[in-house]
Every structure is written in structure tokens, then in C-alpha cells.
Amino acid sequence: MKTIKVYEATENSDRIEGLGHTRGTGIAFKEKEDALKFVMSEAYEPYTVMGYLPTSLADAERHVRTTTIIVYDDMEDYGDNSEMVRLTKLQDSALAKLSDDEFKALIELGILTPPKKTL
């Protein structure tokens, strides 16, 4: 398994008013400076809100995020190393520490769904 830290250009899911959520474009660079150059270039225009390109570095910073790409050697390597497996174990561990009252409160707030009853 190999992890690579990259700088990814982001976009807004609503390209008309910019009221949507931020999501990755899938365009990533090893160096932050290259990512900033990209979001300030004409090549970034298809990902902008109404064609607005960042004009300053401070503005461009808001369109770049740090992310990690994980490259697995093979399926066996993926196994227990997968992010979903790790997060599921973390969630199970956290839920096991809740008292019955805390668990019920989270269900009432709609944060958790009630467990399915088995026969």
C-alpha cells in the first residue's frame, strides 16, 4: 500500500450561484503551487461559479484542498487496510462506549437509526 499526499482543485456543486457544497474535481497535483496555478488559469474555468476565476493567492487557496490517495498493491492488501473497514471498526468502538440513555438520545435526535429487530 502506498499513500500519496496531493493538492486537489475543488469546485462548487452549484455553478450558478455557488450555494452548493464543495467537492473535488479529481484534478490533483503533488505541489501546492501547481494546484494554485491551475485554479488561477483558464483551464480551471469549467469548474468555476459563473466563470469567475480566482485572482489572488488568498482566493485561490479556497479552491485547493489537501487529500490523500491510497494505492493498494493488490486485493489482499486492500482487505483490512480499507478506509471503510477502519471507519466501521471506529464507529463500532464508539457506539460500544455509549450508555443506553446516550444511545436512545441519539436515536431520538435522528443521528442514529434504531437497530433492526431480529427474530
CB-based burial, 37-65: b 16+ in 10 Å, e otherwise: ebbbeeebeebbeeeebbeeeeebeebbe
User: Is 8 within 8 Å of 64 (Cβ atoms)?
Assistant: yes
- Give the C-alpha separation, 87 to 117, whole Å: 24
Asked if the model's pLDDT at residue 18 lies above 90, the reply is no
C-alpha cell at 16: 450558478
Q: Is 29 exposed, middle or buried (0-12, 13-18, 19+ CB in 10 A)?
A: middle
Is the pTM here over 0.75, yes or no? Answer: no
Q: Is the pLDDT of residue 118 over 60?
A: no
Which of 30-39, 56-65, 72-81 comes out lowest in average pLDDT? 72-81
| Lookup: cell for 108 | 431520538
- pLDDT, mean over the chain: 87
